[in-house]
Amino acid sequence: MFDRIASEYDRFNSWASFGLHKGWRDIMVRQIPAGASGLDIATGTGDVAFLARSQGHEVVGLDFSESMIHRARLKDIRSAITWMTGSAEALPFPERRFDCITSAFALRNMRGCLEAVFRETFRVLTSGGLALHLDFGRPRFPVMRWGHRLHTRVSVPLIGRLVYRGRWPQGYLENTIRDFFEPSQVEDRLEAAGFINVSHAPLLGGVVQLYRGTKAC
């Protein structure tokens, strides 16, 4: 599916989030410690990787979709970012390779293997390393919850059909948001993988959640 939607992925993200996704990614990237080496898993077309690189970090962007990685490379062929295809369940790196792990709007897509993904990211983090994961959630307040449901059920499919025409995966975004874990359940899985100081911060009333965990020194 992701190979099929890669060509218009950036445009869809901007339209469907009214451009807010850029600010959410920026909030996450600004939490990366100065001078940290980073791995952005499920990097897609590389938005987080480019942001991290612009702040001086060594960055590897990894995604299982070759088409997504191809689009990322095309954005800036002179970039010092290393692009790789691979699975977040079996990261092709040695232990303690990176100071920070990031992902944006990817955890929902890995719901069935999230425990394995967290174990792998823990393995490749250095002692004291930081994991940062950004993803959609479900708003806490009734009015926002109603508006969010309307947006995901009506506006997003309409935007998807306009952008992708016959290639839009009908219902995918709405279903993955609805079926994803509660923030406390994501935190439980991070802790089970070995992370400490686990937390989540709701953005825009819980429309988006930013998860954070540290590998003990």
- Quote helix, strand, coil % in the chain, to nearest 5: 50, 25, 30
For strands 58-63 and 82-85, give the pairing. Answer: parallel
Domain range for 41 is 2-214
C-alpha span between 186 and 35 (Å, rounded)? 28
C-alpha span between 74 and 177 (Å, rounded)? 30
Range in 45-49, 69-73, 168-172, 202-206 with the lowest mean pLDDT: 168-172
Range in 8-17, 21-30, 37-46, 84-93 with the lowest mean pLDDT: 8-17
User: How does DSSP assign 138-204, residue by residue?
Assistant: --SSHHHHHHHHHIIIIIHHHHHHHHHGGG--TTHHHHHHHHSPPHHHHHHHHHHTT-EEEEEEEEG
Give how many domains the chain has, as a whole number: 1
Q: What is the pLDDT of residue 190?
A: 98
pTM of the predicted model, to two decimals? 0.92
Comparing C-alpha atoms, which of 133, 171, 166 is closest to residue 152? 171
C-alpha span between 36 and 209 (Å, rounded)? 23
CATH assignment at residue 137: 3.40.50.150
pLDDT per residue as tens digits for the range 123-177: 999 999 999 999 999 898 888 888 888 888 888 888 877 877 766 666 777 888 8
Residue 74, SS3 per DSSP: helix
- The three-point CA angle 50-24-155 to 5° equals 110
Contacts of 134 (CB under 8 A, 6+ apart): 24, 25, 28, 102, 103, 104, 105, 208, 209, 210, 211
